[in-house]
Amino acid sequence: MAITAARLEEPPARRTSIFQEDHDDLRESVRRFVETELAPHIAEWEETTFPDQVFTRMGELGFLGLDKPEEYGGQGGDYVCAIVLAEELTRNANGGLAMAVGVQTDMALPPILEFGTEEQKQQWAAPAIRGEKILCLGITEPGAGSDVSGIKTRAVRDGDEWVINGSKTYITNGHRADVILLVTKTDPDAGYDGFTLFLVPMDSPGVIREQKLQKLGMHASDTALLAFQDVRVPDTAVLGQVGKGFKHIMWQLQGERLIGCASGVAGAARVLELTIAYVNEREAFGQPIGQFQVVRHRIAEMAAKLEAARELTYATVRRFAAGEYPVREISMAKLVVARTVNEVVDGCLQLHGGAGYMREYGIERRWRDMRLARIGGGTDEMMCDVIAKSLGL
């Protein structure tokens, strides 16, 4: 049968994208919010970090609980809704802000909702979804990052209380948070069964917020060095099972990594768009630089690589959202995306020449922010390790 022009214009009967119509509607409303309420302040927040009111406002709008259960004030949507939020925040706002929100929604909230008691969910998860409480997650220590099993922060039982001593570093939201989801060692002789998670209010006596750390990028977020000196918490502060903290926290890293992938691709895609506009406009040797074949090909290669990274992310998101737990593919996506987006943003900076190096164009900010993708949430090398192990190496 001949395909008529009318048939070609019809939309496909079934969408093949992970995004359905309700995700498109959500994207539109998040984008509107970002463009009107966040984007105008980005330059200022790079200097000052963004105000806590951003959490309150996002809570009011329901954006902090898009994929969280309605009984705790969430919107009851699927995981893809969280992907939409991450993409829009990074694309149109700022990497640091997107990361800080992601720590709340995709790093700290999931374990509370998964392993928390009803009381803990009411005390911390519901207000966090409303934007009334800010959360942070403390895994990394001055002496242990990639090797989580090497952490030294200790929690020791004392009657019906626990006493915590140790330190955590590079903690996003650490200066503004109301509570920290803290990874501790409760039994140093028990190997991976010797870790326990705690929900420690940040105003507990003995919690010390040391200096705000200065960093290469992600300047809109705050990053803390924290100390815990004889911090006493009740038994009810234990999150999940005593001794199972390592498994609990490793579980949550997977969803967070995919959020990071989507976020990275969206940020790099924006930079590529800006670069295409720039090379069409900027002239050298009597023509727009975008007409030099080497420039056109460079952009074509970057677009192709970014598309591959995006599709790997979406294919893995589809599986994760359907309830699978594809650790190898998530690690592969994290590795490929982190390297690709850094290559793309660096290539785009190059095509901007000196303008790429100047603050005015915003490319250097994205370049600085993006570098974290290869370190945070598990380094490239750790991703390679997970992949190699899964291949029997």
Ligand X SMILES: Cc1cc2nc3c(=O)[nH]c(=O)nc-3n(C[C@H](O)[C@H](O)[C@H](O)COP(=O)(O)OP(=O)(O)OC[C@H]3O[C@@H](n4cnc5c(N)ncnc54)[C@H](O)[C@@H]3O)c2cc1C
The residues annotated as belonging to the active site are: 256
Token digits of residue 319:
């599986």
Query: What tokens does 96 get?
Result: 């640091």
CB nearer to ligand X: give 39 or 375: 375
The span of 60-68, 278-286, 319-327, 371-379 binding ligand X (CB under 6 A) equals 371-379
**The only residue of 65, 110, 138, 260 in contact with ligand X, by rule CB under 6 A:** 138
What secondary structure letter does DSSP report for 132?
A: S
Q: In the window 150-179, what residues touch ligand X (CB under 6 A)? A: 170-172
CB nearer to ligand X: give 88 or 256.
256
Residue among 39, 74, 34 nearest 57 (CA): 34
Asked if residues 243 and 190 have their Cβ atoms less than 8 Å apart, the reply is yes
Q: Is 94 an interacting residue with respect to ligand X (CB under 6 A)? A: no
Which residue number, 215 or 244, has a Cβ lying nearer to ligand X?
Answer: 215
Residue type, 161: E
Assess 375 for contact with ligand X (CB under 6 A): yes
Task: Give dist(CA 108, CA 225) in Å, integer.
Answer: 18
Identify which of residues 143 and 191 has a Cβ nearer to ligand X in the complex.
Answer: 143
SS3 state at 170: strand
φ and ψ at 194, to 5 degrees?
A: -110, 20
User: Which one among 97, 218, 262, 268 touches ligand X, defined by CB under 6 A?
Assistant: 218
* Minimum CB–partner distance for residue 103 and ligand X (Å): 5
Judged by CB under 6 A, the stretch of 57-65, 272-280, 347-355, 376-384 that binds ligand X is 376-384
Among 66, 80, 103, 225, contact with ligand X (rule: CB under 6 A): 103
Rg (CA), the chain: 22
Instruction: State in angstroms the smallest separation of the CB of 141 from ligand X.
Output: 8
Contacts of 193 (CB under 8 A, 6+ apart): 187, 243, 244, 246
Q: How far apart are CA 278 and CA 289, in angstroms?
A: 9
**Chain positions contacting ligand X, by CB under 6 A:** 103, 136-140, 145-146, 170-172, 215, 218, 223, 372, 375-379, 381-382, 385
